[in-house]
Chains A and B, each alone.
Chain A
Amino acid sequence: MSALITDYTYITTAALLVLGLYGMIGKRNLLKKVIGMNIFQTAIFLFFIQKATKPGATVPVWDAQISTQAAGYINPLPHVLILTAIVVSVATTGVALALLITIYRRYRSLEEEIILERMRQAL
């Protein structure tokens, strides 16, 4: 528990994760759900990047003075994973927005209750 006070970035990540989850399950507007999903993804990016840091280390670009000492560089692996994940998150957001546009064109609304009501009427 003491690590929670020193490791304050983790609390930020947890708060963002809860905020994103609230956007996904608490909001009734589909666009707000997509925004919540984006906040959730960003919180995960922040979590990975914060775990990559190391005290007294520099960026993972070859430095002749540090040479091959692994302690001199921060962890490059989370950066690699998140680099691809960011672009994939953009692509998934694009697909989600395309689906939302299609839903809006058919039901003329993005509110969950109105869409469900109109789906029932159409049956």
Chain B
Amino acid sequence: MRGSFENLVVEGVARFLVPFIQLFALYVITHGHYGPGGGFQGGVVLAASMMLLRLSLGEEYEHRRFSPTVASTVAAVGMLIYAVAGLLPLAWGGNFLDYAYLPIPGLSSAELRYHGILIVETAVGLVVWGTLVILFDHLIGREP
């Protein structure tokens, strides 16, 4: 089943734009160290691309590629990554969320904290992405 529009232009433009939106979302997440950006904003942009596909191509069609189950899994995995990134330094002799004690060999303390921030931003991006797709899917569901 197609979306509520049955319009070739809407469908084509959505199909054309979505890869660029998702690439931009990855850029926003990874560029958070050097400018405006980060996990929260990038996750929202990724979720927006999913919502555009669901609106233009139809829910049932899009659910085959990114189902609500996958969305909740993504959110939970993001939370797990964040918690593990906090607990690993605890096991290696530091404080909770002290990335200077992350077990990555061959890096200085400042570089370890740089990479810890990247891991945490990615985790936050996954949580926001999954949660916003969950919100969209469940809010527009039909009346039982």
Contacts and interface: CB of A to CB of B under 8 A. Distances in A.
Q: Do A and B bind each other?
A: yes
Interface of A: 61, 83-84, 86-87, 90-91, 94, 97-98, 101, 105
B47 to A, nearest CB: 10
A94 B143 contact: no
A90 B132 contact: yes
Interface string B129-144: 0011001001100010
Given A87-B40, A87-B128, A98 B143 contact: no
A97 B140 CA distance: 10
Nearest to A93: B135
Given A83-B40, A97-B139, A98-B139, A91 B131 contact: yes
B120 to A, nearest CB: 13
Nearest to A59: B36
Given A87-B40, A90-B132, A98 B35 contact: no
B131 A61 contact: no
Interface SS of chain A: helix
A87 B139 contact: no
Contacts of A94: 135, 139
B44 interface: yes
Contacts of A86: 40
A101 B40 CA distance: 26
B138 A98 contact: yes
Contact of A61 (B34, B40, B139, B143): B34
A70 B44 CA distance: 31
Contacts of A84: 40
Contacts of B38: 83
Contacts of A91: 131, 135
22 contacts: A61-B34, A61-B35, A83-B38, A83-B40, A84-B40, A86-B40, A87-B40, A87-B44, A87-B128, A90-B44, A90-B132, A90-B135, A91-B131, A91-B135, A94-B135, A94-B139, A97-B139, A98-B135, A98-B138, A98-B139, A101-B139, A105-B143
A98 B132 CA distance: 13
